[in-house]
């Protein structure tokens, strides 16, 4: 909705408009204009968050209450760091509230990112064989929450992009199955599409509650949604491609 000046000196459109610069594509100009006028982008700058995505996890946690004081949290693909910033405050990672337990926030990403006060940030490919053990070592045990706002690189083909993000979310879920404590929570971004049937079936078998939700901070024209799975029942519930390998397998 366009904001208006109603001061009595005549109404004026306050929306920031961007001229298309020489050499810049129209699509880039429209993206920049949307960013400059996005209320969540504006709010993030004012409140010190690294991006508008911080409000997605804020809104999800307001509804499902998984970032509790004392929780151990792993943020996969944490760049630029907005989700870690939110988690640090909510789990009391810096001990700001001496009356509540102190939590741990661990962020991992392929790229190196600027440090975040109260969080441990590691440059790591979570798909590597040693990633699960490294994360549990850094945490000093298993995690209470594994969360991911990762998205695969866009190809421009909707069906292909959907399959890519489903493959990524399934890899994140397999990671979560190994590092989550029983009773833990898995939160991740997916795309609406329908190819995730096996994943949804496994989630319902492995967690007490599974919700698929689009938080208000998620843009209306985006096909993204988020799965919030709570109450992990343990590895014994895993089936199919998610089942752990037995000792006699390669």
Asked if residue 152 and residue 38 are part of one domain, the reply reads no
Domain match, 74 and 89 both? yes
Q: Same domain, yes or no, for 28 and 95?
A: no
Do 75 and 88 lie in one domain? The reply is yes
Q: Tell me what pLDDT residue 182 has.
A: 96
Count structural domains, the chain. 2
Q: Are residues 31 and 107 in the same domain?
A: no
Q: Which residues are catalytic?
A: 189
* Binding-site residue set for S-adenosyl-L-methionine: 81, 83, 109, 125, 149
Q: Is residue 191 within 8 Å of residue 162, measured between CB atoms? A: yes
How far apart are alpha carbons 61 and 59 in whole angstroms? 5
Instruction: Say if 5 falls within a structural domain.
Output: no
Q: What is the pLDDT of residues 151-175, one digit of tens each?
A: 776 667 777 777 787 888 889 999 9
Residues 111 and 212 in one domain: yes
Domain contains 10: no
pLDDT in tens, 184-198: 999 998 876 554 778
What is the pLDDT, as a whole number, of residue 46? 87
Q: Are residues 88 and 189 in the same domain?
A: yes
90 and 26 within one domain = no
3-state helix, strand, coil in the chain (%, to 5): 35, 20, 45
Q: What does the pLDDT read at residue 15? A: 46
Residues 43 and 132 in one domain: no
Residue 2 lies in a domain: no
Whether 12 is covered by a domain: the verdict is: no
Provide DSSP, 158-183.
HHHHHHHHHHHHHHHHHHHHHHEEEE
Where a domain ends, among 47, 69, 87? 47
Check which CATH number belongs to the domain holding 188 and give it: 3.40.50.150
Identify whether residues 211 and 223 lie together within a single domain.
yes
Tell me how far apart the alpha carbons of residues 244 and 179 are, in angstroms, rounded to a whole number.
Answer: 13
Q: What is the C-alpha to C-alpha distance for residues 79 and 9, in angstroms, rounded to an integer? A: 44
Q: Is residue 74 assigned to a domain?
A: yes
Per-residue pLDDT of the chain (250 residues; tens, 9 = 90+): 334 444 343 444 444 444 454 555 544 444 444 555 567 778 878 888 888 899 999 999 999 999 999 999 999 999 999 999 999 999 999 999 999 999 999 999 999 999 999 999 999 999 999 999 999 999 999 999 999 998 776 667 777 777 787 888 889 999 999 999 999 999 998 876 554 778 888 999 999 999 999 999 887 777 788 999 999 999 888 877 777 755 444 3
Do 38 and 111 belong to one domain? no
Q: Are residues 82 and 156 in the same domain?
A: yes
Q: Is residue 8 part of a domain?
A: no
CA torsion angle 91 227 240 73 (round to 10): -10
Q: What is the spatial distance between Cα 117 and Cα 125, in angstroms, rounded to a whole number?
A: 22
Annotated binding-site members: 81, 83, 109, 125, 149
Q: Look at residue 116 and tell me if it is in a domain.
A: yes
Q: Are 248 and 93 a contacting pair, CB within 8 Å? A: no
The answer to the question of residue 3 being in a domain is no
Domain extent for 196 = 51-237
pTM: 0.80
């Amino acid at each position: 909705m366009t904001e208006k000046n109603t001061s009595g000196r005549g109404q004026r459109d306050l929306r920031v408009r961007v001229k298309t610069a020489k050499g810049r594509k129209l699509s880039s100009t429209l993206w920049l204009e949307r960013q400059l006028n996005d209320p969540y982008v504006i709010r993030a700058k004012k409140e010190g968050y690294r991006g508008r995505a911080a409000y997605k996890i804020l809104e999800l946690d307001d509804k499902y209450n998984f970032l509790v004081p004392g929780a151990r949290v792993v943020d996969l693909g944490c760049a630029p760091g907005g989700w870690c910033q939110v988690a640090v405050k909510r789990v009391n990672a810096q001990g700001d509230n001496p009356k509540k337990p102190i939590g741990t926030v661990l962020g991992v990403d392929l790229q190196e990112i600027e440090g975040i006060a109260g969080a441990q940030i590691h440059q790591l490919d979570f798909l590597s064989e040693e990633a699960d053990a490294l994360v549990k070592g850094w945490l000093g045990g298993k995690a209470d929450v594994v969360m991911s706002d990762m998205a695969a690189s866009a190809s421009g083909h909707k069906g292909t992009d959907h399959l890519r993000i489903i493959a990524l979310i399934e890899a994140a879920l397999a990671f979560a199955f190994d590092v989550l404590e029983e009773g833990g929570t898995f939160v991740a971004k997916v795309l609406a599409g329908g190819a995730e049937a096996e994943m949804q079936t496994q989630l319902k078998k492995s967690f007490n509650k599974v919700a698929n939700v689009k938080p208000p901070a998620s843009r209306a024209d985006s096909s993204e949604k988020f799965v919030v799975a709570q109450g992990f029942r343990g590895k014994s519930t895993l089936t199919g491609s998610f089942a752990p390998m037995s000792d006699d397998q390669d």
